A and B are shown apart, each in its own frame.
Chain A
Amino acid sequence: MPEPVLELAEVNVFYGAVHALRGVSLRVNEGEVVSLIGGNGAGKTTTLATICGLLRPRSGLVTYRGADVRRTPTHVLVGQGLVMAPEGRGIFPNLTVEENLRLGAYTRRDKPAIAADLKRGFELFPRLAERRRQKGGTLSGGEQQMLSIARALMGRPKVLLLDEPSLGLAPLVTQAIFATIDQINKEGVTILLVEQNANIALKHSHRAYVLETGEVQFNGASTELRNDPRVKAAYLGEG
């Protein structure tokens, strides 16, 4: 079995009295795209927030590259290559596209490499290059999503966490974003992807976990889940 780069074992998370994650276990192997699908309130975003240290699990283990990271602060994890592009994109509206991108490289000090990565980001998303001096708040939803992903890449992630990259985007834009996600993965970045759009998430991932009310209902290879009648009925609008 390949070594997992990220692993959750029996994780329980509470918001006050609300039991948000109920014994969630999942693993992400080096080089994979893993998707986490499920409806609203299933615990997908909570899972990501727990992984990157914004929330603390009440019990269970979270390991990143073999180390227990339950008590590791978010900013330290970012420095170790665990980077999240948040839901709602978290663009700094009053900063320009370029300033947003440069903040993505906040943990790094290697100036020439940062400049190279900036150039690389603009190649990956030419739309951002055109708008490099524009304020983040003036971008369209799709452009903001591109900026969010490009900014996360500026942190040189080993594992990239993407929270709802298709949220609020037109189908064509979503297609383009996911094509880029494939490309980022091919370049060696491991990706954990949270999506409500199960269809596209299963198409663009190797394996998937289906969350429902804080529990993992199914998991397996994405191609298999796409043909699973239960998943089809509940999440793919077929059946």
Chain B
Amino acid sequence: MAEVSLTTEVLQYVTNGVAKGSTYALMAVGYTLVYGVLQLINFAHAEVYMLGSYFAWYQAKWAGYLPDSKGARAETVPLYMVALFVAGAMAACALAGMLIERLAYRPLRNAGRLAPLITAIGVSLLLQYGGQVVFGTEPKLFPTFAETVVYDAGGVKIPNTNIYIVVTSLVLMLGLTFFVNKTRPGAAMRACSHDMRTARLMGVNVNATISLTFAIGSALAAVAGVLVAMDQPAITPLMGVRIGLKAFVAAVVGGIGSIPGAALGGLLLGVSESVVSGLWKPVYSEAVAFVFLIVVLLVKPSGILGKSVREKV
């Protein structure tokens, strides 16, 4: 094997990290949106991501793309079918997210902050273990969604899956930013995040806006679920736990409640993990997320792009 310069090596880890960080960012946005509107950490968000993977897997199975399904078709799934599966998973997860809000969180809307938080942990566990009952504990193998092609950019290897991941995430994040800042439902979301009671007096349908917030966050988690499964094809009901925790950290590091903050936090975390695990030891990469969290919380408790909010008296 040819000698690789340190610069190339670092660049390699950075590009890998950008792809990983993009999925963190997609997930982190879900935490941040819900927190922005309800001041609730939706721990079940990680399990919605897991559901996204499974929804896509089942669609692939029903369409006959799994090696062991009856009358299995070609080994790889054409791109338009992938798009279809992603759309299906997004719709199903959006519905799941809205259901979780409607059934678990809305009845506790006026119950202070602690009760919904504990409930969120409960929903998360319910889905993790309910998922093991329904889907089985054995990992399911994702079909190959794209023929892997590795591009060479001056010694830095870039697989096409990473390009899909980054481009998809980028487009979705930009779309979301536009939606939140430039559309009427976006204005309603911003109004609710500032002051729900006043938003209601302005004619905003608060319940519908909260449902929408959950739907959007959950749909993005579904995309992350499929993108990650493309890269690491074994999916399990507990697959959301680690990425969920890290995406949550990314959201806090970036400044919870801020969409650009979630993107930045996700990217920082992905890149640093990848670099640490490449240059040092993979086992240390896990610790990086939390070192990041601690440092940021010490220096700027509201997160990198978070606004320090005056306590309401």
A75 on interface, CB distance cutoff 8 Å = yes
Q: How far is the CB of B165 from chain A (nearest CB, A)?
A: 33
Interface SS of B by simple majority: helix
On chain B, the residues within 8 Å of A52 by CB distance are 201
Q: Say yes or no: A90-B203 contact (C-beta < 8 A), given A103-B187, A103-B191, A106-B191.
A: no
- In the complex the two chains form, what is the Cα distance from A226 to B36 in whole Å? 48
How many residues on the B side are at the interface (Cβ–Cβ under 8 A)?
A: 18
State the CA gap A3–B273 with chains docked (Å).
Answer: 71
Q: Complex Cα distance A151/B201, Å?
A: 11
Main secondary structure of the interface of A (DSSP, over half): loop
Chain B residues near A78 (CB, 8 Å)? 201-203
Residue of B nearest to A136 (CB): B194
> Do A75 and B191 form a contact, CB below 8 Å, given A83-B201, A86-B201, A92-B198?
no
Instruction: Tell me the chain A residues, 119-168 only, with Cβ under 8 Å from chain B.
Output: 151, 155
Chain B residue with the shortest CB-CB distance to A161:
B201
Tell me the complex Cα distance, A90–B184, Å: 20
Say if the beta carbon of A107 comes within 8 Å of chain B.
Answer: yes
A106–B199 Cα distance when bound, in Å, is 9
- The 0/1 profile, CB within 8 Å of A marked 1, for residues 192-227 of chain B is 001101111111111000000000000000000000
- Specify the chain A residue showing the minimal Cβ separation from B198: A90
- Confirm or deny: A54 has a beta carbon within 8 angstroms of a beta carbon on chain B: yes
Q: How far is the CA of A91 from the CA of B190 in the complex (A)?
A: 13
Which residue of the partner chain A has the closest CB to B205? A75
Does A86 contact B198, Cβ atoms closer than 8 Å? yes
Assess the B200–A75 pair: CB atoms within 8 A.
yes
B188 touches A106 (CB 8 A): yes
For A106, the chain B residues whose CB sits under 8 A away are 184, 187-188, 191, 202-204
Which interface residue of B188, B191, B206, B307 has the most chain A CB atoms within 10 A?
A: B191
Do B203 and A84 touch (CB < 8 A)? no
Chain A hits for B201, CB < 8 A:
52, 74, 78, 83-84, 86, 90
A90/B195 in contact, CB under 8 A: yes
The 4 A-B residue pairs with the shortest CB-CB distance in the complex, in nearest-first order: A78-B203, A107-B203, A90-B198, A92-B194
List 8 A-B residue pairs with CB atoms under 8 Å apart, sorted by A's residue number.
A78-B202, A90-B201, A92-B194, A92-B195, A92-B198, A93-B194, A103-B191, A106-B203
Report which A residues bind B (CB closer than 8 A): 52, 54, 73-75, 78-79, 83-84, 86, 90-95, 102-104, 106-107, 151, 155
